[in-house]
Structure 1
Amino acid sequence: MSEFTHVTVTKAANIYFDGGVTSRTLIFPDGQRKTLGIMQPGEFEFGTQAAELMEILSGELDVQLPGAEGWRRIQGGESFEVPANAKFTVRVLSLTDYCCSFLS
């Protein structure tokens, strides 16, 4: 899906790591939440509360997921899931556009 319709967009940006990662929150009529964002090149550690599906729309990064040995390369058009209440690290190799869906 290349666009979302009938959503509420939160005007204030979510800004992390001194602007290295930014996003906007979308809220759907059924209460589902997603964020659309950009990650600048760098290494960032995130913590989750809800399980997440990270769809990489463009760009390239390496991700280290909880319990995984080593890093996994993710490119535009690919995705990965992160469990609830976990930490994961990304090494962003090029400007990366993403969509994060909160699964629980």
Structure 2
Amino acid sequence: MIDKVLKNVQVESKANVYFDGKVTSRTCYRQDGGRFTLGIITAGSYTFDVGDREVVQLIAGSAEVLLPGEENWRAVAAQESFEIGADCKYQIRTDGVAEYLCDYYKD
């Protein structure tokens, strides 16, 4: 579970804006140098390119994801997570607003 208040992090003030502002996030860094983003996804369907391996946890709302190598969409809701391997693409869709925290890992 993600804490409501994240302590001892640095936040980049410049937003990451995707799909004409329908998906936005802020890049953050933990004291140990770990990188993550906090963001929102508004109603729609989106395809993301992945560089580093990602673990995405929904903070609020719900969505469906289609992960690489899978044929069926998977439902995810607040407090649930999913993982995407490095150097691939995945799809995500939602009917409302989903908030997320995405951790990045260099393998």
Aligned partners of 1:62 and 1:93 also within 8 Å? no
Q: Tell me the residue number matched to 2:60.
A: 58
Q: Kindly report which structure 2 residues correspond to 1:11-26, keeping only aligned pairs within 5 A, or say none.
A: 11-26=13-28
Aligned partners of 1:47 and 1:85 also within 8 Å? yes
Q: Tell me the residue number matched to 1:79.
A: 81
SS in 1 for 2:96: strand
Q: CA deviation at 1:103?
A: 1.9
Identical aligned pairs, as a percentage?
38
Which of 34, 59, 70 does residue 68 from structure 1 map onto? 70
Aligned partners of 1:56 and 1:99 also within 8 Å? yes
SS in 2 for 1:80: strand
SS in 1 for 2:20: helix
Q: Tell me the residue number matched to 2:101.
A: 99
SS in 2 for 1:94: coil
| Equivalent-residue separation in structure 2 for 1:27 and 1:16 (angstroms) | 20
Report how many residues are paired: 104
Q: CA deviation at 1:93?
A: 2.1
| Equivalent-residue separation in structure 2 for 1:28 and 1:73 (angstroms) | 29
Q: Deviations for 1:58-100, whole angstroms, at most 9, x for unmatched residues?
A: 1111100000111001111111000000100011122001000
Unmatched runs of 5 consecutive residues or more in structure 2: none
Which of 36, 39, 42 does residue 40 from structure 1 map onto? 42
Q: Which runs of 4+ in 1 moved over 6 A?
A: none
